[in-house]
Amino acid sequence: MSQEIAVIGSPEFTTGFRLAGVRKCENIPDEEKDERLDDAVESTLADDNVGIVVMLDEDLDHLSRTVRRDVEGSVEPVLVTLGGGAGSGLREQIKRAIGIDLMDEDE
């Protein structure tokens, strides 16, 4: 069974993904993120058809502590954030997805 990519964010953020063929998009206007983002993320994480969730890094600040912990610890689906300090964030995402740190020089 193949899994899909889901994108969560403002309509401006999700539009490009829709044009690229992503079918699962949760549009949350900026002024509604504090009220609606937790529910959108929780329902997306619970969807067995979703393998990758894409969000803006800055949107993580709008999540409650509990949902943010769930998102950051999620292996399937894996969360990919765009924007912000991508270097260390990408490293952590890869480590979480495959279970090892490929960039660790001690190993």
Provide the pLDDT for residue 2: 79
Helix axes 33-46, 65-73, angle to 10 degrees: 40
Say if residue 96's pLDDT is above 80. no
22 and 8 Cβ atoms separated by less than 8 Å = no
What share of the chain in percent tops pLDDT 70? 77
Provide the pLDDT for residue 72: 83
DSSP per residue over 22-90, as a string? --EEEE--GGGHHHHHHHHHHHHHH-TTEEEEEEEGGGGGGS-HHHHHHHHH-TTTEEEEESS-HHHHH
Alpha carbons 13 and 99: distance in angstroms, whole number: 29
Q: What is the pLDDT of residues 21-66, one digit of tens each?
A: 999 999 999 999 999 999 999 999 999 999 999 999 899 999 999 9
Provide the pLDDT for residue 74: 82
User: In a 3-state reduction of DSSP, which class is residue 17?
Assistant: helix
Alpha carbons 6 and 27: distance in angstroms, whole number: 11
Provide the pLDDT for residue 86: 47
Alpha carbons 7 and 36: distance in angstroms, whole number: 14
